Structure 1
Amino acid sequence: MGDDEAYAQVYKQHFQKLFIYGVFYSSDRDVVKDCIQDVFVKIYNKRRGLSSTDNIFLYLAVAVKNSIINAVKKHNRKVQYLEAVDEQSWEDEKTPESLYIDRETQTQNHLTLDLLLSQLTDRQRGIISSRFIKGMSISEISEEQGVNYQSVSNIIQRSLIKIKALIKK
């Protein structure tokens, strides 16, 4: 298999998982897709100088996560600036400190969610992502996954019970 064929195979094999992983860091699907594309373009352009890895998905996931975080930070700076102008015009009392605390709280929430979801199996994470991030119905998930309706319901319930138990710890 040639380099280009192997590259295309890696892309096809990992895109969906990277997308699911990426939506935990940004709910903007277009940003996630763009970041995945950016990572693969960078890898392709630097393919000669890259060293091998034992876990390509982990390598890609970290690269995509960093790309998304950078994109969100870049975007948030613009949004926060616009919000600050709007808030000043309405004489809102948002201070730089409260904006910083809001950002830090959001970052901590994402880290906590990532930690909780990492405790689930791949199937549980995929179904939870489909249900609560993509907003799919149980019937749609059942059809997409090729699993019966009751199994999807059971997986969701078990996953939520596990997450609640982890939160209590």
Structure 2
Amino acid sequence: MHLWQIMVKLSAFDIEQDSTLWTSFRSGNQQALADLFLAQYDKLYRYGFRLYSDEDVIKDCIQELFLKLWHKRQSLGEVREVTPYLCQALRRTIVDSLREKSGRFRLWTPGDEERLEVTFSHEDFLISQQIDDEQRRRLTAALNQLTKRQREAVHLRYFENFEPGEIARIMNLSDQSVYNLLYRSVQALRDNFFLLLLIGANN
């Protein structure tokens, strides 16, 4: 069996397992929610910290998110792909937290997302032994020249391995908008895109 086939099977197993935990916690099983928290925490933290690089804020937002899920469990619907759903919910929770800290108690608007910004640094790529310092510098500079939404889409696609449809759900965009973001990102990164693929494949 090829490696990619193994990865697809493992991914399908994770999705099924998370979906089972989701169903169980909605029925009032606290242990299922705890297991879901443990299974999802690392990915949620990585994504949240990418959006807003304050460790305490992100940890608080993840805890707040799961508390809200528990209190609202009876009104929640069935979710097949739990990770994109939770990433989208965390994104909104971070925005709400920042609004609350700034004393802006009003209806949420898309403009509230302006404080969320994925940025890349040289250190992000130190784990890769396949590129040298100059290539890391070039790739970091090229990524940070992208728009905010392009950087977020690139992070989700090539560092977290989400499919375009999942990214659309997380970022609250249409599928076509995500395809456009990724296409324009690839065009802008055309001289460095192979390096991005090398690194993304090893994350």
Given the two structures, how large is their TM-score scaled by the length of structure 1? Answer: 0.52
Distance 1:161 1:30, change over 3 A: same
- From 117, 122, 135, the counterpart of 2:160: 122
Q: Are the aligned partners of 1:25 and 1:69 in contact in 2 as well (CA < 8 Å)?
A: no
Task: Report deviation, 1:104.
Answer: 8.2
Deviation of 1:115 (Å): 1.3
Give the gaps of 5 or more residues in structure 2.
1-23, 104-110, 119-145, 162-191, 198-203
Q: How does 1:97-108 map to 2 (within 5 A)?
A: none
SS of match in other structure, 2:50: coil
The aligned residue for residue 61 of structure 2 is 35
What whole-Å deviation, never above 9, does each CA across 1:65-85 have from its counterpart, x for those lacking one?
A: 11112223444x47xxxxxxx
Displacement of 1:25? 1.0
Q: How does 1:1-169 map to 2 (within 5 A)?
A: 3-75=29-101, 77=102, 109-122=147-160, 161-162=195-196
Q: Partners in 2 of 1:54 and 1:10 — Cα distance? A: 14
Greater fraction helix: 1
Aligned residues: CA RMSD: 3.3
Contact 2:117/2:152, CA 8 A, preserved across alignment: no
Q: Residue in 2 aligned with 1:129?
A: none
Q: Structure 1's 105 and 42: CA in aligned 2 closer, same or farther, altered over 3 A?
A: closer
Report if aligned partners of 1:11, 1:40 keep a CA contact under 8 Å in 2: yes
Structure 1, unmatched stretches of 5+, are 79-99, 124-157, 164-169
Question: CA 1:47/1:106 → structure 2, altered by over 3 Å: closer, same or farther?
Answer: closer
The change in CA–CA distance for 1:63 and 1:104 in structure 2 (over 3 A counts) is: closer
Q: 1:44 to 1:65 in 2, by over 3 A?
A: same
Distance 2:116 2:160 in 1: 27
Q: What's the secondary structure of 2:56's corresponding residue?
A: helix
Larger Rg: 1
Q: Could you tell me the TM-score, scaled by structure 2's length?
A: 0.44
